[in-house]
Structures are given as C-alpha cells and as structure tokens.
Chains A and B, each alone.
Chain A
Amino acid sequence: MAFDAPAAPGPGLSPRAMAWYRFSRNRSARIGAFMVVSVVFIALFAPLIAPFPDHAGAVVDFSARHTPPNLTFPLGTDKVGRDILSRVVFGFRLSLLLVAGVLAIAVPLGAALGLVAAWCGGIIEKGMTGFTNVMLAIPPLVMALAIGNVLEPNLVNAMIAITLVWWTWHARLVYRVAKSVAAEDFIEAARLAGAGHLHILAREILPNCISVISVKTTLDAAFVILFGATLSFLGLGVKPPTPDLGSMVADARQFLPEQWWEVLGPGLAIFYATLGFNLLGDGLRDMFDVEV
C-alpha cells in the first residue's frame, strides 16, 4: 500500500472550481460583473459609442442649451448645449482612470506595509500600526481637501490625495490576515527549511492574503469613484471642459429642479458604476469566502 487512502475530500472539486461555482450561482455577482465589464467597455470605446464625441471637449452650441431628453440627445444637453450622454460616456474614462491610479498605488503600498508590520513585529509593528491608526483618525475628506488645496486641482493631484487616505485600509486588512497566517505551522516549517524573510513574506504569506485583497480592492473601486466624484463636486477634480461625472453634477446643480436631466445623467452613471463594483465585490467575497 504505497498511496494511502484515496485523496479528494469533500465534493471532489478543486477550490478554484468551487469558487467559480459559488460565483456563477450568485446572481448579484453576475449582474455586478456585467455592469463592471460594461463600464470598462464603454470607457475603452468611448469615442465610438458617444453620439457626439467632440462634445467631450469645449463645444458651445447655445441654440441647443438645456434641451430636455429627446431622440437626438437621450439624456438632454447641458448649459452650453453639449450632449450629456456623450459627456457621461467620456466621464467613465476619467473615473476608471482614477480608480486604476489610486488602487495601483494604494493597494500594493498598503499590502506591503501590512505584511512587513505583521512579520517584523516589535517596534516596527507598533510604529506602523500606530501610524496607520493616526492616519485613519483623520477624516478622509478633510485630508483630501487639505491636500487638494495645497496642490493645484487636477486628476493626478486628486489621485494623490485619495491614495494618501486610502492605503491605510489595506494596510490594516493585510496586517490582520498576515498576522494570523504568520502563526501557522507552515510558516515555522518554512523558516526551519531555511527560507529567508523575503521568501516568507512574498511566497508564503502573501498568496494567502490575495483573496482578501482582491475582494477589498473591488469594493474599494466603488468608493474611489464616489470619492473622486465628491472631490470634483467640491471643485478639486479636473478642470473644465474635461467631462467628469462629479463636476457635471456640481455644474448642473444650479439648474435644479427645472433642468433635472442635467443632474440625473451623471448621477445615474455614478450610481451604475458604484453599484456594479459593489455587487462584484460582494460576489467575490462569497466566492472566496472571506471576511473584509
């Protein structure tokens, strides 16, 4: 008897297949995935999808200003006569760019700091968790407003502002997960086998944190879109005439309630993208069976 008992406990599927099954059975996750994919698709092919691609720029057509939704302009026009649908389509681009930029910096930064804090222990751990807690104590909007005021308002600076308040959540999350993984037998076994610190952090602990990070990142995408919209609403986003969902809402606000469509279009777009990411994140959470 060389091979002991038969392997494959449970339902005989690999974790990946089980995860995929859970995901595919979850209706909200499917809807979320569809919404996110559609947003990405629209953003990528904005010039082809938008009925008036040039309206994303500084086009002025006063004869068509404040047109209610009709067949030519499905979402109506704004105060200078630009097609709102076209601007919303291009607005997705900016939102996704913001999401990508913020998360591409905040997630790896936060994860790395969390891992190092959990693994090193001692003064490094105390210092990092302390600093993270202090950062978390500052209201993110106040922090972002302060940074936005110091720097000139544009996309990159908005990104920096959001990133600076965002990494802390990832640091805390990864710290917590890594701390419990670090106490597992297999970590001590790896150390006994001669593995170095870098190997243990990157190859042993990090793979066990990936599911948590990816769920959190997806959920974060929704918040970053909202946060970016808030910043542009407050005038710290991109400069006109670049179409941005947040500043479109801000501009149109003064024409409420008569020209309601001018707020409704970008508002719905923010809602759609945020909801999509949230549903997808919830689906991933069920799929990986993690708590965030």
Chain B
Amino acid sequence: MRNLLDISDLNVSFSAYGRRQHILKDVALSVPEGGRVALIGETGCGKSLTGRAILGTLPDTARIESGRISLRGESVLDMPPKRREALKGTAFSIIMQDPLSSFNPVLQIGRHLDDVMRFADRRLGICASCAERKARIFDVLRKVQLSDPEWIFAAYPAQLSGGMRQRALIALSLLHQPELLIADEPGTALDVTTQDEIMTLIDRRVSDNGLSLLMITHNLGLVRRMVDEIYVMRHGEIIEYGRTTGLFRRPQAAYTRQLVEAIPPLYGAAVVNRPASTAKPMIELTAVSKAFARRSAFAKSSRHVAVKEVSLSIREGEIFGLAGESGSGKTTLARMIMGLAHASSGAIMIAGKPVDAGSAAARRNRIQLVYQNPGTSLNPKRTVGQTLAVPLAFVGVRGAAAASRIETLLCDVDLPSHYASKFPHELSGGQKQRVAIARALAAEPRIIVLDEPTSALDVSVQRNVIRLLTRLGDTLGLTFLFISHDLSLMRNFCGRIAIMLKGRIVETGSPRIVFARPRHPYTRALIAAAPVMSEEEENLKPHIGPEERRRYLVGARARS
C-alpha cells in the first residue's frame, strides 16, 4: 500500500519572548492511502501542532527547521503558496476540536459552509452558482446525519446542540472530498453518548468515502475503535509506534504502558470494587424538585424542571457517584445539597438537620466543593498559600498556626511545602487540582462534592488525583458526592452510583451490580457508549437496540 502522507524528520521550533524552543523533534509519521492512524499524547506534547504543520496553518512564531512533509511523494513544503492553499479542504481537511468556538456566533451555519465552499471552489477554478452550491451543501449535511438541512442551513450556531454543531463541523471538513481527514480531538467537549455517535459518524464517512484518517486525541478508548495504527507522542517526540491491538496489549515504552494502565477498566479482573458503606445516612433527599423559570425568545415563558422528585440517601464515608449527561440536572442537585440553590419542593437533610439550618458559616463547615476546572477555580493573582489561608482564617486559624496548617494541607495532597509561595500559573493542571482539594479540606468539611474533578486533566494525572481522593476519603472519613459522566472511572472509584436522566434518578445501586445487570435502558445506553480499552470489555458491555438508542440518547435525537 502506498503512503498518502509521509512526514520525516520534522523539526519545528517556536520563538516566543526572545527564546527559541524546539517543540517537534524529528517527527516521522506516515498515513497509508485509506489508512487510519492516530497520534496520541498528553496536553502540550505537540500533537495538534503536527496537524497544523501538515495543513500549513502554523502560527507566525513557529518555524519549520527541517524535515519533509510529502503528499503522495510530492513535498508539500516546497510547493508554491498558491498550490499549497489549494490543498486545504481538498487534499487535507480538519475537524476542529471545539464545535462552539469554531463557528462565528453571528453568522448562520449555511453562511459558514457556503463561504468555505465558495473560496475552495475559486481556488480550484470551479464556477458554481449559489443554488448549485446549496444543493451540494445539503447533500453533505445529509451525509453527516443532519436530517433537516434546510433548517440547519438557516440556523445560528447557538441554536444547535453540541452534537449538531460537531456534525456541522464535520460537514465543513467534508465539503470538498478531502483525501486526508485530520480529526483534532473530535467530540472531546461532548457527552460520552454524543461522542459515541460522532465517532460512529466519522467512522462511516471515512470508510464510505475511502478517506484516510489522522486522529489526534488523548482518549485511548476512542482510538481503539477508530484506527489501525498508533503513534505515541511525548514532549514533541514519537516514542512508540505500532498496530492498535498489539500496542494496547503489550506497550513497549514505559510512558505508553503508564498511559494504558491509567485508564480505569470497565469490566474484567482489574476492576476495583469499593465496599459499600453501612454507616448512618449523611445526606438525605426526599422528593426534591427544582424548577427554573425559562424565558425564551421564540416561545412564551415556560418553567423548566431541572430536578424532579429526587429521593436518595448517601451514607457517611461513602463515595457516591452521580452520573448523567450534561443537562440531566446533576449539577443543580449538587448545588442544592451545597445550599447554593434552594429546592422548589422536597426536603434535604444533612447529618440529620435541614440543609438551610444554622448559619452560612456552619453550612460551609460541613460541605465543600472541588470544581471541574482547576484553571478557573484558583485566583490567578493569589499564591497557593494566600488561597489556602482564606478558609483557615474562617475557621479561626491565623498567623503562624495557619502557616503550619498550610504545610500539613499541602503535605496531605502530596505537594512540597514551598509550593505555598507559588502562583497558579506555575503549577500543572494536576497540581492545581491538588491545591483546590487542599482548599476544600482546609475548612475541615465532612462532605466534599466533586464536580467532575478530573475531566480537565490528562489520564495519567487523573489516576493520581483519584488515588489521592481515595486515600483522603479513607483517612479523614469524608463523604464524597462524585459527579461525572466518566463511567469507567465511576465503576472503580464509587461505592454506590445513581444514574440521572432528565432530572430523575433512573437507577441506583452498587457499581458492581449496575454494570453487570443494568436495568434501565438508559443505563445500558450510557454504558454501551463508554469507550473501553479491549475487545473483551467491549463484548461484556450491554447491547442496545437502535430503538433504545433513539429513545434515550440525547445526541441522536433530531431537532424537536
């Protein structure tokens, strides 16, 4: 088989603030014609940069020092600029990562698609009328399973759901039948179920049209489904290359092994079963509902019920997982338990007392929160020590006592004590999240709500943070409410889980039982969509029919 794309000895450096940094080091990679290749690695390892080097959209500060990028044996870098331009969208096409920020919010989707098509036509010397282009665009929109192209064409980005926007982005990349499709973290910003749909779609488009695929991602579970060959990148270097199955089963490089091992298993012998707690209930919810008044520009004002008659009880010392897609009401429920929002009806009891009983101070002392994104939950202008001093001052620890307490807290979360004088920008994502956990611990709470605490982190970092949380929970006797949509993680971390669908809890139980015999079809659909690392696990997943799929997967639903 001939190679469609060959990259050899690619060296790219960046000059920023007077310094030159070597980012890509001797990168060599090839995509066979009709082949599917993945480039995996952690944030900042240079994988997206490789994609941009292929497309020719490197930022001005980057410079290709040496190397060759060739398309069917012809060097892309030596082409005259005009020919290189013409390759964009026709030879190479990219599916961008963020479906929201990739569209200009004030322009209609049709306008975006038409602009891209018109300019690509012009470069290729095609002269098509407006109606002709529209017909071609409708054709592509139908191909990406957007059932109502007429409506999509006239819609503004904000009117589409995340899944639909991602589809529109895929349509954008397929307008001119590219030969190589570069997918840069597709679906990362979406729910598992929607992501699953998107992957199926890309999969079908690639095989139906005989495209080659270069997938850039950090999600190893997705990679297993989608590609045949994998390149592992670290610090700008390709450190391992292999066929997908072989590489996952017997990773050679220590780093790859670490990456593969960091993925929590969904089924099999390696799964950890957390014991269920038998202590007395710590959080009790009886028939809790929450309704928001929703103002809409299109229809008359309506009430949106975010949480419907939820009853559950969380025991002391338990790690309780709450799973569900975005918009299912899990964050609203957590905010009510935190006392940040009031329930419209029903009762919430914390340690036997109503949630709004006592002063705000006493409430804070009971429950703390760890946010999803440590980048935004730490004040960039305050040092770690200053951030940690706030909750300490509140419980009456000041001065020298506070300094020693900060040292203990940092030690608890495995950070050296001199980190107290660092600013958030000096820390990595995992370290920031550790500081956020330390801040939550400082108020000496009995309950900690974890709002997707690891979804912004790389897998290997995620494992460390989860390990830390497990240890803290055991040693300090904390009760955790863990909100997530990562089912594999919940399977291993939680003592009990609840699945939420449109404001209701549809299933509760110990993960062992829920995952072995999911009762509700939605639970089955969720588990089936979770990416896994091996064929054996894939076979253990519950099977769902297309009927259930349509019924429960938000992403698969057409516009109502």
Q: Which residues of A contact B (CB under 8 A)?
A: 1-15, 17-18, 21-22, 25, 184-190, 192-195, 199, 203-204, 207-208, 210
Contact = CB atoms under 8 A, between A and B. Distances in A.
Interface stretch (B167-175, B378-386, B535-543): B378-386
Contacts of A18: 17
Contacts of B558: none
B128 interface: no
A6 B415 CA distance: 13
Interface string B360-381: 0100100011010100111111
Given A4-B461, A8-B426, A185-B371, A21 B376 contact: no
Given A193-B390, A193-B439, A186 B460 contact: no
26 contacts: A1-B464, A2-B414, A2-B464, A3-B414, A4-B464, A5-B429, A5-B461, A7-B426, A8-B428, A11-B14, A13-B17, A14-B426, A17-B17, A21-B18, A185-B371, A186-B376, A186-B377, A186-B378, A189-B439, A192-B338, A192-B364, A192-B368, A193-B368, A193-B442, A194-B364, A207-B379
A199 B377 contact: no
Contacts of B442: 193
B395 interface: yes
B44 interface: yes
Contacts of A17: 17
A204 B14 CA distance: 34
Contacts of B361: 194
Contacts of B461: 4-5
Interface string B388-407: 00110111000000000000
A186 B414 CA distance: 22
Contacts of B309: none
Interface string B9-43: 00000101111010000000000000000000010
Contacts of B364: 192-194
Contacts of A185: 371, 373, 376-377
Interface in B281-297: none
In this complex, the member of A2, A4, A185, A187 whose beta carbon has the largest number of chain B beta carbons within 10 angstroms is A4
Contacts of B42: 5
A149 to B, nearest CB: 44
**5 nearest interchain CB pairs?**
A194-B394, A4-B430, A207-B381, A193-B391, A11-B16
Given A3-B431, A5-B458, A203-B382, A11 B21 contact: yes
B382 A21 contact: no
Interface in B402-451: 414-415, 423, 425-431, 434, 436, 439, 442-443
A204 B17 contact: no
Nearest to A8: B426
A5 B262 CA distance: 14
A21 B16 CA distance: 10
A7 B17 contact: no
B390 A199 contact: yes
B19 A13 contact: yes
B394 A195 contact: yes
A44 to B, nearest CB: 32
Given A4-B461, A5-B458, A204-B382, A189 B377 contact: yes
A17 B19 CA distance: 12
Nearest to A211: B381
Interface residues of B, number: 48
Contacts of A203: 382, 386
A59 to B, nearest CB: 53
A18 B434 CA distance: 26
A21 B394 contact: no
Given A4-B430, A7-B427, 12 more contacts: A7-B431, A9-B428, A11-B17, A14-B426, A189-B378, A189-B436, A190-B390, A192-B364, A193-B443, A199-B390, A203-B382, A208-B379
Contacts of B464: 1-2, 4
Interface in B325-352: 338, 340
Nearest to A9: B44
Contacts of B430: 4-5
B16 A184 contact: no
A200 to B, nearest CB: 9
Q: Pick from A188, A193, A204 the residue with the most CB of B within 10 Å.
A: A193
A187 B371 CA distance: 12
Contacts of A199: 390
A146 B328 CA distance: 60
A199 B368 CA distance: 19
A15 B361 CA distance: 36
Contacts of B443: 193-194
Nearest to B16: A11
Given A193-B390, A193-B391, A14 B17 contact: no
B379 A192 contact: no
Contacts of B338: 192
A206 to B, nearest CB: 9
Contacts of A187: 379
Contacts of B378: 186, 189
A7 B379 contact: no
Contacts of B386: 203
Contacts of A194: 361, 364, 390-391, 393-395, 443
B296 to A, nearest CB: 22
A7 B428 contact: yes
Given A186-B377, A193-B390, A193-B442, A5 B428 contact: yes
Contacts of A15: 425
A208 to B, nearest CB: 6
B16 A189 contact: no
Contacts of B428: 4-9
A192 B395 CA distance: 12
A121 to B, nearest CB: 16
A6 B431 CA distance: 9
Nearest to B394: A194
A203 B338 CA distance: 24
Contacts of A9: 44, 428
B16 A10 contact: yes
Nearest to A13: B17
B128 to A, nearest CB: 41
Contacts of B431: 3-4, 7
Nearest to A191: B364
B173 to A, nearest CB: 28
A193 B21 CA distance: 40
Given A5-B429, A192-B368, A194-B361, A21 B17 contact: yes
